[in-house]
């Protein structure tokens, strides 16, 4: 490593952005004396409802809670099956297990890396109650095909749109259409409340049930008392988190524009680098080049492990030594010990198995400089060229 490389600032794979206005707004909430769920939460939910075309929206402490409660609202429980993808954060399938149901993993499309909708019908049984697609890196599935399947087989759809806030389908915001739609506001998301999430619902009855499920099943009955009529948990979002979300909503268009611009630069820099370094035959799988529907939550490549003599972990270490952070999103869920013990086999979804051991997330966040993209692309391709099989 050169002296110059040693002095370059470290580029993490993501970094949240909170401006001074956000910091001041948080301070105002702290000074107000009302820091748990209160007026700012109500305002945030109202703004989100407007964003999603007037649909009811309720917020929760995290994106895992939103999916769990969506399953409960849909009536999913013991003996039921839910079809989902094996390439996601494990929370997607954990919540299915958590309500007593069984995840059924369907292999993914090698290009979009989302669940292969053409393979879902073959996985449907008499126990199937819902489909839970995941929009990896913010890219939605074909919504027309998804809901056609759901209608044909009379299934609920719980969209794990954790990474897709701001994404669209044919000009319509993800969340403004569909059935139950779950978003995460965790620190690395396009819109962050540090921790949190929201669920877009169909009716006010579903919204009222969501309110009870997020706060111990509590039903308020005027000034005289209260009641608990369902088993709920403690999954409410605080006003501190909500006011951050309100400020992030204002900045979202700027964030989105910058992310798309950085993604375009990645395509240009990587393709140019492949030619300059005589790596035209390198089977480097780039993301779907979609600038209409994707929110560019992440920029992920699939490493050509069959063509190089370095594994993913070593490549990530070498990039880190060059001051570049990366991530893995995600290892295949059925490879985890818990799921192996439950009888799942990675061989049942071979495309997901390949992607799960080869995918690599490169840095992408609005605060990046243009020059960062060239630096990352050159470093990545330089390492691949160094370890290219003869």
Q: Which positions are catalytic? A: 189
Q: What three-state secondary structure class fits 158?
A: strand
Sign of torsion, CA 50 53 56 60?
A: negative
- Can you read off the two tokens belonging to residue 66? 């939103």
The region that residue 24 occupies, defined by phi over 0 for left and psi between -120 and 50 for alpha, beta otherwise, is alpha
Question: For residue 57, what are its two tokens?
Answer: 């929206």
Q: How far apart are CA 365 and CA 375, in angstroms?
A: 15
Tokens of 46: 């109202």
Count of CA atoms in the C-beta half-sphere (13 A) of 357: 15
Q: Tokens 């909708």 label which residue?
A: 117
Strands 81-84 and 128-132 turn out to be: parallel
| Residue pair 235/69 in contact by the 8 Å Cβ criterion | yes
Q: Judge contact between 150 and 179, C-beta under 8 A.
A: yes
- Nearest by Cα to 355 from 324, 294, 312, 296: 312
* Residue 54 CB burial class (10 angstroms; 0-12, 13-18, ≥19): exposed
- Ramachandran sector of residue 213 (left: φ over 0; alpha: ψ -120 to 50; beta: rest): alpha
């Amino acid at each position: 490593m050169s002296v110059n490389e040693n002095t370059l600032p470290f580029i993490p794979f993501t970094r949240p952005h909170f401006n001074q206005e956000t910091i001041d707004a948080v301070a105002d909430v702290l000074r107000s004396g009302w820091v748990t769920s209160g007026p700012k939460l109500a305002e945030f939910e109202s703004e989100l409802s407007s964003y999603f075309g007037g649909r009811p929206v309720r917020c929760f402490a995290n994106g895992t809670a939103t999916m769990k409660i969506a399953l409960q609202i849909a009536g999913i429980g013991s003996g039921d099956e839910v079809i989902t993808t094996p390439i996601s954060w494990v929370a997607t399938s954990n919540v299915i297990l958590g309500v007593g149901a069984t995840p059924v993993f369907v292999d993914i499309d090698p290009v979009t890396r989302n669940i292969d909708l053409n393979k879902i019908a073959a996985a449907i049984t008499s126990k199937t109650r819902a489909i839970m697609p995941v929009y990896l890196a913010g890219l939605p599935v074909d919504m027309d095909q998804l809901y056609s399947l759901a209608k044909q087989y009379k299934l609920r759809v719980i969209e794990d749109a954790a990474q897709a806030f701001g994404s669209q389908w044919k000009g319509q915001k993800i969340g403004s259409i569909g059935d139950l739609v779950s978003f995460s506001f965790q620190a690395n998301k396009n819109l962050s409340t540090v921790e949190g999430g929201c669920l877009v619902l169909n009716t006010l009855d579903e919204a009222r049930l969501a309110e009870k499920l997020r706060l111990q099943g509590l039903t308020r009955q005027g000034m005289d008392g209260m009641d608990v009529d369902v088993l709920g948990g403690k999954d409410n979002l605080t006003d501190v988190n909500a006011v951050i979300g309100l400020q992030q909503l204002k900045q979202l268009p700027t964030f989105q524009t910058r992310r798309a611009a950085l993604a375009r630069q990645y395509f240009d820099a990587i393709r140019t680098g492949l030619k300059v370094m005589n790596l035209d035959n390198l089977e480097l799988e780039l993301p779907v080049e979609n600038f209409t529907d994707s929110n560019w939550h992440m920029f992920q490549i699939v490493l050509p492990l069959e063509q190089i003599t370095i594994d993913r972990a070593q490549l990530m270490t070498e990039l880190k030594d060059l001051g570049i952070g990366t991530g893995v999103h995600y290892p295949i869920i059925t490879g985890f010990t818990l799921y192996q013990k439950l009888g799942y086999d990675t061989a049942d979804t071979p495309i997901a198995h390949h992607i799960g051991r080869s995918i690599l997330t490169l840095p992408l966040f609005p605060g990046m400089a243009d020059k960062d993209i060239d630096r990352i692309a050159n470093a990545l391709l330089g390492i691949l060229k160094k370890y290219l099989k003869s």
